[in-house]
Amino acid sequence: MDLSQDEAMERQFEQGLKLQAVTSTEQAVQPADLEAVILEAIDLCFFSRQNISLCSRWNRSEFSESQDIKTGSYIFDIMRFEKQQIQQPDPVFTLNEWLKTSYPEAKIIGYDEMQEVWKASNEAPAIYGRLESITPGNYGDTWEVTWMNAGIRLHLISGSKSKAFLIRNISEKLLMKEKLTMNDGGPMFISKVNYNDTMNPLKNRQFFIECQYGVLREKEEKDPIRKINIQEE
């Protein structure tokens, strides 16, 4: 797995990872016996370098036998996550800050510093958010503020025991919170939270969060009035 390649998309599937184990039919340990060990070592693992992380998730295992040889293939999906640049104001950064405060045991991908190898679990889930859309806001603009609607995808990667609970818990807390404070001090209003706990956390987002926030207009620089002539008749 090459972490140095430069892809156009911030988050995308690579070709995946395929491991194979080959034994003879007479051996005591067969490929099927190795599945649990391999999944424990690799499933839901993050491999990080610089600002890029790859996450592996078990997809399926295949077993075959030919003459006196048995083969086991263990196939993993691989997803690439990149650290995103922070803007002012930044709805994803604002959500990441709230998530880290509310769930300190979680790793917020793109926000927390990542170890070279780290494994998500029931006790320590991984969460990744990315901006999907920006449209004009519902509030009326003023001379100083332009309102924006932002759509944020949120992916939760954890053990199966805690995933459903966390998805519902995050959704309920966000809706009850209603408003977060952004990195420029302005408000970010939570409009809607849609979630689905049956989706693949790498292929699909489990959350789609709609929020609204204001962006200060840049003030136009005008030349000062240097001279005024008043003529009296």
Give residue 3's pLDDT.
Answer: 38
Q: Per mean pLDDT, which range of 22-26, 43-47, 93-97, 143-147 is the poorest? A: 143-147
Give residue 203's pLDDT.
Answer: 62
Mean pLDDT to the nearest integer, 40-48: 93
Give residue 233's pLDDT.
Answer: 56
* pLDDT > 70? residue 16: yes
Q: Is the pTM of this model over 0.75?
A: yes
**What is the fold of 84-216?**
STM4215-like (3.30.2000)
* pLDDT > 80? residue 133: yes
Of the pLDDT bands very low, low, confident and very high (cuts 50, 70, 90), residue 1 is very low
Q: List the chain domain ranges.
A: 17-79, 84-216
3-state secondary structure the chain: CCCCCCCCCCCCECCCEEEEEEEECCCCCCHHHHHHHHHHHHCCEEEEECCEEEEEEEEEEEEEEECCEEEEEEEEEEEEEECCCCCCCCHHHHHHHHHHHHCCCCEECCCCCCCCEEECCCCCCEEEEEEEEEEECCCCCCCCEEEEEEEEEEEEECCHHHHHHHHHHHHHHHHHHCEEECCCCCEEEEEEEEECCCCCCCCCCCEEEEEEEEEECCCCCCCCCCCCCCCCC
Give residue 50's pLDDT.
Answer: 82
